[in-house]
Amino acid sequence: MTDKIHFDRIAIIGAGLIGSSVARAIGRAGAAGTLVVSDRDPAVLQEAREIGFADDFTPDAGEAARDADLVIIAVPVGAMAAVGEAIAPSLKEGAIVSDVGSVKEAVFKALDPVLPKHTHLIPGHPVAGTEQSGPKAGFASLFDGRWCIITPPDGVDKGALGKLTKLWEAMGSTVEIMTAPHHDLVLAITSHVPHLIAYNIVGTASDLEEVTRSEVIKYSAGGFRDFTRIAASDPTMWRDVFLNNKDAVLEMLGRFSEDLTALQRAIRWGDGDALHDLFSRTRDIRRRIIDAGQDEEAADFGRHHEE
């Protein structure tokens, strides 16, 4: 059982799917005396205020961060530096600053130069989400049973790291510590490249001249439906992910292209043994993901159907 963790004041910058889910999970855990949420979009902020998953709401990130013991930045990676500059003058000595982005080296490089040295910058990434966006899409259990990867810099304050770790555990996550470059390489193949493939194949389907878009929609089988679900993810967030993790993504795309060429060759030459071997190995990976509790074995890819 995780020891009870409590911060007097926590500020969350960004009230989208992840930010609003973090707020709800913190509230469920009772981990904050005061919880403040900020978002620069008036419509998003008003929606968050109407839902009421925090104690206070403000469009001013600096005001939200004032006197906060912990600030969690939940904005697209490309906006990190601007948020860092906005909150820097308000941060008190010893404040912990973290984030929820799926790229870690770029986040550290964006925030480290602009944050005061009397604060503790500890990037993080909860490996959880849906294709939905906005405050209404968030829910407290989003992180239950999921990994949260924390990428502390060299010389990190152990006390600050311990507090952040305990908070994510209180929100339901299992915490893993790794370096930022290793994180970015791992996520390139497990998340970023799959999203890129999904965007590409859905785009290819929409561009086919011989097949109408209505036919693509009408006859979508399970595989294509899953691609469209992934491809429905927030475009701004994923644009920033690819621009800020381009080295790792390009490395994984190179390997993927080589394997795809081998697959094309096997199909062209009727090499059934090679195809069967590949499909058997990939089926085993699926089994191991289910056994690890990272997905469910329900029929039709775990979809829930109305009776």
Q: What is the pLDDT of residue 294?
A: 61
Q: Which of 19-28, 158-167, 198-207 has the lowest mean pLDDT?
A: 198-207
Q: Can you tell me the distance from the alpha carbon of 248 to that of 177, in angstroms, rounded to the nearest whole number?
A: 19
* Rounded Cα distance, 146 and 133, in Å: 19
Q: Which of 178, 199, 230 is the last residue of a domain?
A: 178
pLDDT of 130 = 78
Last residue within a domain, chosen from 145, 163, 178: 178
d(CA 51, CA 44): 11
pLDDT at 63 > cutoff 70: yes
Among residues 156, 178, 200, the one where a domain terminates is 178
What's the whole-number mean pLDDT along residues 172-194?
93
* CATH code of the domain in which 159 resides: 3.40.50.720
The pLDDT tens digits for 117-169 are 999 999 999 998 877 889 999 999 999 999 999 999 999 999 999 999 999 99
pLDDT at 1: 43
Q: Once rounded to an integer, what is the mean pLDDT over residues 93-111?
A: 96
**Model confidence at 210, in pLDDT bands (50, 70, 90)?**
low
- CA–centroid distance for 87 within its chain: 22
Indicate the SS3 state at residue 119.
Answer: coil
> Is residue 175 pLDDT above 70, yes or no?
yes
Residue type, 142: L
Q: Which two tokens stand for residue 20?
A: 């609003």
Q: What is the mean pLDDT of residues 256-285?
A: 90
28 and 173 both lie in a single domain: yes
φ, ψ for residue 58, nearest 5 deg:
-150, 145
Residue with tokens 């949260």: 148
pLDDT of residue 59: 97
Do 85 and 138 fall within a single domain? yes
Tokens 């697959």 correspond to 263
Domain residues for 193?
182-270
What percentage of residues in the chain have a pLDDT greater than 90?
67
CA 187 to chain centre: 10
Tell me how many domains the chain contains. 2
Q: Within this chain, do residues 70 and 157 fall inside the same structural domain, yes or no?
A: yes
